[in-house]
């Protein structure tokens, strides 16, 4: 009885072992490489698979997903003999599990070594500046070489990226100084251009301001000159009209020696007003002196004894002053004013008439009639009166 139980237990274990060796489960995105007696038999897909127990053996499970491998920094010498450290990252995928298993022992290490050698080959033909600025060119070169080399290994390289390029510390300091100098240069250039533009705009503004000021001064001077010219023309016209009016009035008035004598009488008080005239002697033969003066001035100035010829009057406007509208003046006030003017003229003539003695008669004032004379007779033609002989001085 115990032997039977032992046999049953051994049979159960054998069955379980056979089932375990027969049924194989392959995960998703993986492939199983089956070998029979050490030779490749088949590739198991993902899922439940049945193999011959104790004969077929699943040797490898190959990951079919895209893998990312970051390699350690590698030292690369550039064309200008500078050593730089370059880190690379490779994205690859196994597309043929059999080739990846039997064509190469360690495809990851193989990809790393090919990447390093290809990178040194590409960067060795570039200088430092090109290496720092040509990452896309390096990536394209690496991807092309790796695709060609890993194609027979059942591997497809998707992307190759340069993670970092580290030049030596001294080169970094030099590059920083160069970059700083370049920035300072560009800042100085921009500052100079700004100052130049500012100076140009300032000069243009001053130029336009000066031009506008000059034009304004020119127009002002032109307007002032035109105003002065028009004012001078108007003054000359006014003076000409005044002279013409006075001249016409003199000719229309037919001046004679009586008028000249009257004008002389009007000027005598002004002559006596001088500060240098301490003594003023009036001759006793004043009428004779006036007559002689009138004849002399008549001969000198060409004034005739009697004017003849046609008389042409100049329209000098109304004789009476034009009163503003609404101004009412009484006729009696006008007559009183005229009488006052006539009285002032007589008083002035009387004050200017020299007297030979207490019994001498006042001289005739132009415009007034002397009593006892004929109005039709010219006063100049009347012989002057003989002055009385002076009285003898009393005997003491």
| Each residue's pLDDT expressed in tens, for the chain with a length of 396 residues | 677 888 888 888 888 888 888 888 899 989 999 998 888 999 999 988 888 888 888 888 999 999 999 888 888 888 888 889 998 898 999 999 999 898 888 888 888 888 889 888 988 888 888 888 888 888 888 888 888 888 888 999 888 888 888 888 888 888 888 889 999 999 999 999 999 999 999 999 999 999 999 999 999 999 999 999 999 999 999 888 888 887 787 777 666 666 666 666 777 676 666 666 556 555 554 555 555 555 544 444 454 555 554 544 545 444 444 444 444 444 566 677 677 767 777 776 676 565 444 444 444 434 444 434 444 444 444 444 444 444 444 433
The secondary element (H helix, E strand) that includes residue 283 is: none
pLDDT of residue 337: 66
What does the alpha-carbon distance between residue 112 and residue 89 come to, in Å, rounded to a whole number? 10
Task: State the alpha helices, DSSP H only, in 151-168.
Answer: none
The model carries a pTM of 0.44
3-state secondary structure 68-98: EEECCCEEEECCCCCEEEEEEEEEEEECCHH
Classify burial at 370, counting beta carbons within 10 Å of its beta carbon; exposed 0-12, middle 13-18, buried 19 or more: middle
pLDDT of residue 151: 85
pLDDT of residue 280: 57
pLDDT of residue 386: 45
pLDDT of residue 191: 93
Residue ranges covered by each domain of the chain: 23-63, 66-167, 180-269
Closest CA to 391 of 356, 354, 363, 361: 356
Closest CA to 338 of 320, 316, 364: 320
What does the alpha-carbon distance between residue 190 and residue 181 come to, in Å, rounded to a whole number? 14
What does the alpha-carbon distance between residue 48 and residue 26 come to, in Å, rounded to a whole number? 7
pLDDT of residue 277: 58
Q: Are 74 and 86 in contact (CB under 8 A)?
A: yes
Closest CA to 57 of 80, 41, 79: 41
Question: How many other C-beta atoms are found inside a 10 Å radius of the C-beta of residue 140?
Answer: 13
What does the alpha-carbon distance between residue 352 and residue 344 come to, in Å, rounded to a whole number? 12
pLDDT of residue 133: 86
Q: Any bridge partners for residue 25, and if so which?
A: 48
Q: Are 128 and 98 in contact (CB under 8 A)?
A: no
Report whether CATH 3.60.15.10 matches the domain 66-167: no
Task: Determine what percent of the chain is predicted with pLDDT higher than 90.
Answer: 19
- Classify 350 in phi/psi space as left (phi over 0), alpha (psi -120 to 50) or beta: alpha
What is the side-by-side strand order in the sheet with 30-36? 39-44, 30-36, 56-63
Tokens of residue 188, six digits: 């100085």
């Amino acid at each position: 009885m115990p032997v039977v139980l032992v046999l049953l237990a051994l049979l159960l274990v054998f069955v379980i072992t056979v089932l375990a060796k027969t049924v194989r489960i392959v995960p998703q995105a993986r492939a199983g490489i089956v070998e029979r007696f050490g030779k490749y038999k088949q590739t198991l897909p993902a899922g439940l698979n049945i193999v011959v127990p104790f004969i077929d053996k699943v040797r490898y499970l190959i990951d079919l997903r895209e893998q990312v491998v970051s390699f350690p920094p590698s030292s690369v010498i550039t064309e200008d003999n500078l050593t730089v450290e370059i880190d690379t990252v490779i994205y690859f995928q196994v597309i043929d599990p059999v080739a990846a298993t039997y064509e190469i022992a360690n495809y990851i290490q193989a990809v790393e070594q090919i990447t390093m050698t290809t990178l040194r080959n590409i960067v060795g033909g570039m200088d430092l500046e090109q290496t720092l600025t040509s990452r896309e060119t390096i990536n394209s070169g690496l991807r092309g070489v790796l695709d060609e080399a890993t194609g027979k290994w059942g591997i497809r390289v998707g992307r190759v990226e340069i993670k970092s390029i580290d030049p030596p510390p001294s080169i970094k300091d030099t590059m920083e100084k160069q970059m700083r100098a370049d920035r300072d240069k560009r800042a100085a250039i921009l500052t100079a251009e700004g100052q130049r533009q500012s100076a140009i705009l300032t000069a243009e503004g001053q130029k336009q301001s000066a031009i506008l000021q000059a034009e304004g001064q020119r127009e002002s001077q032109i307007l002032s000159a035109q105003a002065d010219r028009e004012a001078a023309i108007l003054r000359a016209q006014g003076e000409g009209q005044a002279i013409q009016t006075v001249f016409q009035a003199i000719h229309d008035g037919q001046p004679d020696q009586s008028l000249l004598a009257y004008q002389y009488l009007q000027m005598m008080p002004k002559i006596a007003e001088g500060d240098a005239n301490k003594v003023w002697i009036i001759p006793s033969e004043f009428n004779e002196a006036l007559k002689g003066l009138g004849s002399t001035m008549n001969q000198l100035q060409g004034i005739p004894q009697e004017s003849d010829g046609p008389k042409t009057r100049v329209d000098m406007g109304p004789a009476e002053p034009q009163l503003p509208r609404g101004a009412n003046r009484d006729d009696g006030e006008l007559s009183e004013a005229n009488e006052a003017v006539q009285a002032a003229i007589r008083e002035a003539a009387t004050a200017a008439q020299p007297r030979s003695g207490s019994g001498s008669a006042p001289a005739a004032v132009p415009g007034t009639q002397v009593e006892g004379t004929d109005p039709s007779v010219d006063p100049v033609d009347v012989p002057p009166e003989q002055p009385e002989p002076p009285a003898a001085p009393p005997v003491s």
